[in-house]
Amino acid sequence: MNKEEFLKFLESLHSRGSSLGLERVEKAALFLGNPQFAYKTVHVAGTNGKGSTAAMLESMLIVSGKKTGLLTSPHLKEFNERIRVDWKPAPYEELARIAERIKQVDEQHSINLTYFEFVSLLAFQYFKEQGVEYAVVEVGLGGRLDATNIVKPEIAIITPIDFDHMHALGNRIEKIAFEKAGIIKTGCKVVISPQKEEALKVITQVAKIKGAELFPSADYVSQDFINFDSSNRMEFEAFIGEEKFENLKIPLIGWHQVENACTALAAARLLGVLEKDIRKGLLNVKWSARTEIVERKPLTIVDSAHNPHGINALVKMLSQLFPGKKVFLVFGLSYDWKIEPTIKLLAPLAEKAFVSKAKFKSVDSKKISEEFKKHGVGTELFSTPEKAFEEAKKQAGERGIVVATGSIYFIGEML
The residue ranges of every structural domain in the chain are 3-283, 292-414
In the prediction, which pLDDT does 289 show? 86
Average pLDDT of the chain to the nearest whole number: 92
Residue type, 240: I
Mean pLDDT of 28-38: 98
Residue 300 has pLDDT above 60, yes or no: yes
Residue 221 has pLDDT above 80, yes or no: no
Q: Name the band, by pLDDT with cuts 50, 70 and 90, for residue 223.
A: low
**Other beta carbons less than 10 A from residue 249's beta carbon:** 17
In the prediction, which pLDDT does 194 show? 93
User: What would be the CATH architecture of the domain defined by 292-414?
Assistant: Alpha-Beta Complex (3.90)
User: What would be the CATH architecture of the domain defined by 3-283?
Assistant: 3-Layer(aba) Sandwich (3.40)
In the prediction, which pLDDT does 336 show? 63
Residue 143 DSSP SS3: coil
Lowest mean pLDDT among 18-27, 37-46, 310-319: 310-319
| 67, 131 contact by CB (below 8 A) | yes
In the prediction, which pLDDT does 123 show? 98
In the prediction, which pLDDT does 225 show? 61
Spatial distance between the Cα atoms of 301 and 156, rounded to a whole number of angstroms:
31
Q: What stretch of H or E contains 350? A: strand 350-355
Lowest mean pLDDT among 23-32, 46-55, 175-184, 214-223: 214-223
Q: Name the band, by pLDDT with cuts 50, 70 and 90, for residue 227.
A: confident
Residue 171 has pLDDT above 70, yes or no: no
Q: Name the band, by pLDDT with cuts 50, 70 and 90, for residue 97.
A: very high
Q: Name the band, by pLDDT with cuts 50, 70 and 90, for residue 129.
A: very high
Give every strand in the sheet of 350-355, ordered side by side: 292-295, 299-303, 401-406, 327-332, 350-355, 379-381
Is the dihedral angle over the CA atoms 218, 269, 55, 18 positive or is it negative?
Answer: negative
In the prediction, which pLDDT does 169 show? 59
Spatial distance between the Cα atoms of 336 and 368, rounded to a whole number of angstroms:
9
Q: What stretch of H or E contains 410? A: helix 408-414
Which residues touch 139 (CB under 8 Å, ≥6 apart)?
Answer: 43, 44, 45, 46, 50, 146, 148, 149, 180, 183
Q: Name the band, by pLDDT with cuts 50, 70 and 90, for residue 112.
A: very high
Q: Name the band, by pLDDT with cuts 50, 70 and 90, for residue 320.
A: confident
Mean pLDDT of 57-71: 98
| 203, 158 contact by CB (below 8 A) | yes
Q: Answer left, alpha or beta for residue 361, where phi above 0 means left and psi between -120 and 50 means alpha.
A: left
In the prediction, which pLDDT does 323 show? 86
Q: Name the band, by pLDDT with cuts 50, 70 and 90, for residue 312.
A: confident
Mean pLDDT of 34-49: 96
Burial readout 369-378 (b: 16 or more C-beta within 10 A, e: otherwise)? bebbeeeebe
| 405, 305 contact by CB (below 8 A) | yes
Mean pLDDT of 148-155: 98
Q: Are strands 227-228 and 234-240 parallel, antiparallel or unpaired?
A: antiparallel
Spatial distance between the Cα atoms of 353 and 400, rounded to a whole number of angstroms:
13
Residue 362 DSSP SS3: strand
Instruction: Report percent pLDDT > 90 for the chain.
Output: 71
Give the residue, 225 or 340, on which the prediction is more confident.
340
Mean pLDDT of 263-288: 96
In the prediction, which pLDDT does 137 show? 98
Q: Answer left, alpha or beta for residue 328, where phi above 0 means left and psi between -120 and 50 means alpha.
A: beta
